[in-house]
Amino acid sequence: MHNHGNVIVSLGMLTPYMAQQAEKLGVDVFAGFAAALPLYGADGEVAGVQIGDLGLDRDGGPGPNFAPGPEVRAKLSVFAEGARGSLTKQLVAKFRLDAGRCPQVYGLGLKELWQLPPGA
């Protein structure tokens, strides 16, 4: 295995950079707000998401600054919440996206291992 000429990047810095590039192209990026529910259109299609409620107290009830989560409706919604995302699970069940397919398999593993000289 050789890894010469490649670049190592920080995902913490790459993600905001990619968001800036997407916004320049007209994409709305809502960083820092978690989607709570998928929204559906009149024909049952995905029409966006509802953001989680804001201003909840410690017990999860409405606090003094409570605001219900807004709806974000879009022609295209991208659900990029990982393999075990809660909204993705809802969509897989609703649209039977797993019908006739092999179930997902999860595992822990090692993608790449680098051995560095001492002190590096």
Query: What average pLDDT values come out for the chain (120 residues) when binned by 10 residues?
Result: 80 90 92 90 95 92 94 89 81 92 76 76
Q: Specify the residue for token string 């953001």.
A: 51
* Amino acid 6: pLDDT: 83
Residue 90, domain extent: 32-95
Work out the burial of residue 2: count CB atoms within 10 Å of its CB; fewer than 13 is exposed, 13-18 middle, 19 or more buried.
exposed
Q: Are 39 and 50 in contact (CB under 8 A)?
A: yes
Domain count, the chain: 1
* Amino acid 26: pLDDT: 92
Residue 14 located in a structural domain: no
* Amino acid 110: pLDDT: 64
* Amino acid 36: pLDDT: 93
* Amino acid 29: pLDDT: 87
* Amino acid 9: pLDDT: 84
CA distance 69 to 94: 22
Quick check: pTM over 0.75?
no
Residue 76 located in a structural domain: yes
Residue 40: both structure tokens together: 């559906």
Residue 3 located in a structural domain: no
Check residue 116 and report its DSSP letter: P
CA distance 31 to 24: 15
Write the DSSP assignment of 16-84 as a string of letters.
HHHHHHHHHTT----TT--EEEEEE-TTS-EEEEEEPPEEE-TTSSEEEEEEPPPEEE-S-----S-TT
